[in-house]
Structure 1
Amino acid sequence: MSLRLGSTVLLTLVLLLALPAVASAQNGDGGGDRLTGADFASSPVIAPNGIAATSQPLASQVAVDVLKQGGSAVDAAIAANAVLGLVEPTGNGIGGDLYAIVYDPETDDVYGLNASGRSPQSLSYEELQDELGDSDQIPLVGALPVSVPGTVSGWEMLHERFGERSMADNLAPAIQYAREGFPLSQVIAYYWERNIQAFEYYEEQGTLTDNNWRETYLIEGEDGEMRAPREGEMFRNPDLANTLELIAENGADAFYEGEIAQTIDRYMERVGGYLTAEDLADHTSDWVQPESVTYRGVEVFELPPNGQGIAALQMLQILEAYDIADMGHNSTDYLHVQTEAKKLVFEDRARFYADMDFADVPIEELLSEEYAAKRRSLIEMDGVLSEPSHGDPRAVVSDRLEEGDTIYLTVADESGMMVSLIQSNYAGMGSGLVPDGLGFMLQDRGALFTMEKGHPNVYEPGKRPFHTIIPAFAKKNGEPWLSFGVMGGAMQPQGHVQIICNMVDFGMNVQEAGDAARYRHRGSTSPTGEAMDGRGTLHLESGVSQNVVNALRGRGHAVEVDAGGYGGYQAIMWDPEEDVYWGGTEMRKDGTVAGY
């Protein structure tokens, strides 16, 4: 998301990732020394039969339990996602959307799923503009940013195609934890408190008028005051347990046509919202063909818009012409070309990425080598791009988005199936709206539309907004190789590219690739209408040497060294020679890898 005046500034600030990152000994002389395993304290998890990497230990263990009980990687991913919606509501839940990439060993093919929801049919552009008044930004709380939640339909489509166990069995662990309780882990407790502070502020401002969120997400402290649960404290959500039981018994119909849909409809009418039972009943998720480019022999897959996945592919197309390995990891030249490529690609992202049912997105041209060469020619090694424009891909070939709270998980099973899944409510816990007695919050993804008429991502009824959440997958030598993701708003394409470069160009293993110090450039033009102001800001973790920081500043970059905002990583790599999986997890989060 981008910084805005007033209340949005507060929400952005309290939701920023502000957690310490472990500094690594790298690039200390500014010359780009190659990393070795000795530079890191953490190591990969290696397992022969099945493996799961998620952002919360209980969810990883549940996924492995499902695999041991004969479930497929998809069954395990659904079970883990359901648990994460309970234990990490700061990043996801069944009130949000889902995307997935599945590698199926039976067909040796990669499948994409877009389970994102659409805007309400009853809210026209003109009515929304009247609601906004003088503002040109859709708010992050309340009824206006609420779009149809796609997650449950995504579960059903994945399960129908690749599931081996019943949905009831897959949801049973989450239901049990919801009823009996679970202890909060450290990072999630931190964000839980920050979200509650934001909602309390919006209540005081009169922006958030319904307080169901208090009953669902607060506990009673020793002094009798209601507050956010803290690290190590047990938390229960019996309402969510009841909701998941309805889904377990009656499938997605319970959510989109049955009792849950009717409850959402009544609730939205009560709070003055626009999402209706008809919108829920009309929802469909879609199997989509993943897009791919080949980077130094590795085929990298991302999903097409309305998401931002192809931004990572565009960046890789630009970067392939450089000798990245010779530059050295996190060297001045490396970080310079990465940042400049990001700036160029994000201008295209702002101009072209949108719901392809409503907009003609020139994907083939955007991903072409000819267009990458044209854009690459704008990069100078001794200068910095300031306010670059988007390109004209067809001519060549013929941050509200800055922060998002998301979970990413990946699971692989004994058959060779690999699942790359991402799920989110967008900013923080979501809109602040919790339908009566359901135990989950509705997403605020609709805030990612623009109100600029004529823009591909302009608000329209029944339209999917631009999306930040993107799963990724890669093949090497034609075989499945890496299922991975780096969650975190606009960080995600930048993070995907860094992981691929770390492993392909610098030979890091799956854990080293995530532990290595990251960069993140902020300030590009966004699909919601915010324009780039100057050169933006290049944020670096402390593992980047001070010599490199100074050199980048001398080259013209506005550099800040800080500890937050670099996303959350999970990955599984397949080793065909030894027939084992290697798993990596995010040291900046609560996540773990579990295997057997």
Structure 2
Amino acid sequence: MPFDSKRVSSRLAIALAAFVATVAAPVQAKTVKPPLHGQHWVAVTGKPLAATAGARIFMQGGNAVDAACAMIAATSTMWDTLGWGGETQALIYNPHTRKVIGVNALGVAPTGATPEFYRSKGYDYPPEFGPLAAVTPGTPGGIMVMLAEYGKLSLADVLAPAIEMADGYPIEAQTADLIEKWKDELRKWPESRRTFLMHEGKDGKPLPGYSRVGPEAGEIFRQPDLAATLRKLVDEEAKARKAGKNRKQAIMAAYDRFYKGDIAKEFSRGSQELGGLHTPEDLANWQPYLEEPVSVNYKGIEVYKLTTWVQGPAMLQALNILENFDLKSMGYNSTRYIHTLYQTMSLAFADRDFYYGDPRFPPEEPIKGLLSKDYARERAKLIKEDRNDPDIRPGDPYPFQGATNPFKAQLDAWRTVKPGKDKSKPNQWSPTALAEFDRTFRLGTTSVETVDKEGWVVSVTPSGGWLPATIAGKTGIGMSQRMQSFVLDPADNPFNVVAPGKRPRATLTPSMALKDGKPYLAFAVQGGDTQEQNLLQFFLNVVEFGMTPQEAAEGANITTYQLRDSFGSHESIPGRLTLAESVPAWVRNELTKKGYKLEFSANNSGPITAIQIDAKHGTFWGAAAYHGEDYGIAW
């Protein structure tokens, strides 16, 4: 056959177009988990039984807030990387006001929790475990305030699944294995030992007929003290109703019993008995807040986050920076795309690590400047196209809100890898140290996403009090471990220094997006310092690359460690980058040339949960990644 240059050119053009298409957008392949579809409601959370609790509430006539509260209660009872003494953060869309509300139910540092106190104990940061790691309980108050303000059902209705589970439920392997893993830590706390190590003999070994000291998978796990505490709340609500109080007043009567009555006194006694600092006054003075979230507009979509007492604004900062690039033309997970994402996240997280803290305590965080589009454009100019910058530092947002930075000296001295450390290269970490870094870096939570036909949308990331939890007295309540996210030295972060009554800057970060003024996405994920990274990529997968929520939740994400760990010893590893195994060889080679130290994972999406509101069809899409045990139910 004679040579036909036109035919060859045409074939080459077709082949090139096909190649570009595969890079520009992922193939719409079948997902590991099926997408959820509903027209009445959707409930997605971290455990199958907890999703069932939400479904039960919907079927009783509850709205999305009622269901979310029941799911938080159920996951707390199941120790799904949280317990009842932890904290709750939420975003709620109210269809009647057409506004997004933030719920701040993060506990505070107790009386006596000062830098001097912790240094006197030999700590560089508050500890990871035990009563000295605990802020005041936030989740009970968060549930009750959300329910009172925006729900329809009674506290008795909403807590019924959790009480039934506290009486006994078949424990799943994941939690049973965690109890076994942390048995030595749990033995340090008498009530924790009694609750979790029920098969431990006097010699410390499993009793005859059992394979472990804790519960076995499928065994009925009972928590009588917790069940009694939850019943006290329901009893108090019933007494208030009998006395003529309305629904909201009756729920808040239960709130008062927890924070100002016998439960608060027993919790504080149990904490102090173990060397903790909590007083009854600490619980009585604490309160959750309903507040206005922060938001940015990304290409016509309003994205909402809680403010600087969590890491949420970091994703908003990243979106502002990324708006200066044509991500779609780069191609999904191309070298340019991954490099731009990594550099952008490094810029946003450097600001997080220096400027974020409790906005109810001085100094005031420069949130207006941090979320300024002009500031983002200046930060975007710092991205070096040819290589990774391992020394990306916080910027100066103050001029972008018409002010002068009062912490210029600390800012100039700040480094991602702290002075005196020599751990910026992954190969300089021992395997044991690296494994410990990864454990704390990814410390989990759970997530709760709900939506209903009336228009209520809820996104929650409750956490704290995870295993190995210290149970306070006879309450059955596992104490929070959130104190470790504080710093003791203002040079690390002048906004996040521990103080009594102050909230630590947490990693927890529910997300919500509105399109054309209407709910569009509710999404969250567990995983410590990987949370904002996974949520940013989920959002871009949907908005830039046209994925369905389930496809986006299972996407081949990247993970950067060029930020200070919010837990443990607050270390950082610049240049370390985890990629999905599906990333091709040529992209790996190009990233290596840019200075990245690559690692690979078969599944790097994180346990994302999400709901998309399909305005065109009047239905809902639910999603739960296949990373863990996250599960959803829709109708």
TM-score, scaled relative to structure 1: 0.88
Q: CA deviation at 1:33?
A: 4.7
Give the whole-Å Cα distance in 1 for the aligned partners of 2:155 and 2:119: 41
The equivalent residue for 1:4 is none
Asked if 1:371 corresponds to 2:362, the answer is: no
SS at match of 1:437: helix
Instruction: Give the one of 484, 487, 509 matched to 2:548.
Output: 509
The equivalent residue for 2:90 is 100
Instruction: Give the one of 274, 283, 288 matched to 1:285.
Output: 288
The equivalent residue for 2:49 is 58
Asked if 1:494 corresponds to 2:533, the answer is: yes
Aligned identity (percent) is 33
Change (3 A) 1:529 1:229: closer
Deviations 1:253-284 (A, max 9, x none): 22211221111121122112101111011111
The equivalent residue for 2:339 is 336
Which segment is superposed worse, 30-39 or 440-449? 30-39
Deviations 1:184-236 (A, max 9, x none): 1x4x33xx424543451x47xxxx74232122123426535752334333322
Change (3 A) 1:534 1:223: closer
Instruction: Give the one of 310, 313, 318 matched to 2:313.
Output: 310
Which segment is superposed worse, 329-338 or 434-443? 434-443
The equivalent residue for 2:463 is 424
Asked if 1:233 corresponds to 2:199, the answer is: no
Which segment is superposed worse, 312-321 or 137-146? 137-146
Deviations 1:42-61 (A, max 9, x none): 33111110110111111112
The equivalent residue for 2:430 is none
Give the whole-Å Cα distance in 2 for the aligned partners of 1:58 and 1:93: 16
Opposite residue 240 of structure 1, the aligned amino acid is: L
Decide whether the 8 Å contact of 1:452 with 1:529 is kept in 2. no
The equivalent residue for 2:153 is 165
Aligned pairs for 1:210-221 within 5 A: 210-220=189-199
The equivalent residue for 1:175 is 163
Decide whether the 8 Å contact of 1:219 with 1:226 is kept in 2. no
Q: CA RMSD in A?
A: 2.3
The equivalent residue for 1:441 is 478
| Bigger Rg over Cα | 2
Change (3 A) 1:525 1:162: same
Q: CA deviation at 1:476?
A: 1.0
The equivalent residue for 1:264 is 267
Q: CA deviation at 1:243?
A: 1.5
Decide whether the 8 Å contact of 1:457 with 1:528 is kept in 2. no
TM-score, scaled relative to structure 2: 0.83
Give the whole-Å Cα distance in 2 for the aligned partners of 1:281 and 1:533: 37
SS at match of 2:632: strand
Deviations 1:465-516 (A, max 9, x none): 1111110000112211111112211111111110110000000001001011
The equivalent residue for 2:38 is 47
Change (3 A) 1:224 1:578: closer
Change (3 A) 1:322 1:124: closer
Opposite residue 108 of structure 2, the aligned amino acid is: R
Decide whether the 8 Å contact of 2:179 with 2:214 is kept in 1. no
The equivalent residue for 1:84 is 75
SS at match of 1:490: helix
Q: CA deviation at 1:294?
A: 1.2
Give the whole-Å Cα distance in 1 for the aligned partners of 2:36 and 2:359: 39
Aligned pairs for 1:237-248 within 5 A: 237-248=223-234
Change (3 A) 1:30 1:216: farther
Decide whether the 8 Å contact of 1:429 with 1:443 is kept in 2. no
SS at match of 1:573: strand
SS at match of 1:540: strand
Opposite residue 480 of structure 2, the aligned amino acid is: Q
Q: CA deviation at 1:143?
A: 2.1
Decide whether the 8 Å contact of 1:405 with 1:429 is kept in 2. no
Instruction: Give the one of 452, 455, 458 matched to 2:489.
Output: 452
Decide whether the 8 Å contact of 1:103 with 1:417 is kept in 2. yes
Q: Going by fraction, where is helix more abundant, 1 or 2? A: 2
